[in-house]
Amino acid sequence: MAELKERTFIAIKPDGVQRGIIGEIIKRFEMKGFKLVGMKMLQPALLHVVEIKRPMLVECVASSVILCVFQVWEGKGVVKTGRVMLGETNPAESKPGTIRGDFCIDVSKNIIHGSDSVDSANKEISLWFKDDELASYTSCAFSWLY
């Protein structure tokens, strides 16, 4: 049962927000069967970004409009499957059907970040979400998925 509660951190970077594809990204994760348990749109503080030295967040701050959408998704194998759904970091190496393969051209504007392991997901989630900001519920689709 614990594997069904695996969580990952997904961040839509400013280029993804500005291009208006937030809904498309959410749609893909929902259609796959994952459960959205947390989401917020933020303008990350520069000091916080520099302290944690995450390239994705530095990119957010370097953007002309510092606006990111942070999400927490839950489900069986969500970290590994989420990474496959995102595609390669370099969009030129991403297959059609992946988020980067369908929406990106250049590695400097690859629109999205996803955790690469359960440990990094837990760390990234704790940076942006308090425990009481994450929902705990059973989707009515649960029995159709598992």
Name the least confident of 14-18, 30-34, 53-57, 76-80: 53-57
Place 47 in a pLDDT band, splitting at 50, 70 and 90. Answer: very low
8-state DSSP, 19: T
Whether 12 and 71 have beta carbons less than 8 Å apart is answered as yes
Rounded distance between C-alpha atoms, residue 56 and residue 79, angstroms:
17
Amino acid at 69: V
Which residue is associated with the tokens 């959408």? 69
Q: What are phi and psi of 12, to 5 degrees?
A: -90, 120
How far, in Å, are 63, 64, 76, 78, 100 from residue 118 at the CA level?
A: 28, 31, 12, 9, 22
Residue 17 and residue 78: Cα distance in Å, rounded? Answer: 22
Q: How many residues does the chain have?
A: 146
Say whether pTM exceeds 0.75. Answer: yes
More confident residue, 43 or 15: 15
Strand partners, 10: 71, 114
Cα 45 from Cα 57, distance rounded (Å): 9
Active-site residues: which are they? 113
- pLDDT above 90 as % of the chain: 74
What is the distance between the alpha carbons of residues 53 and 74, in angstroms, rounded to a whole number? Answer: 25
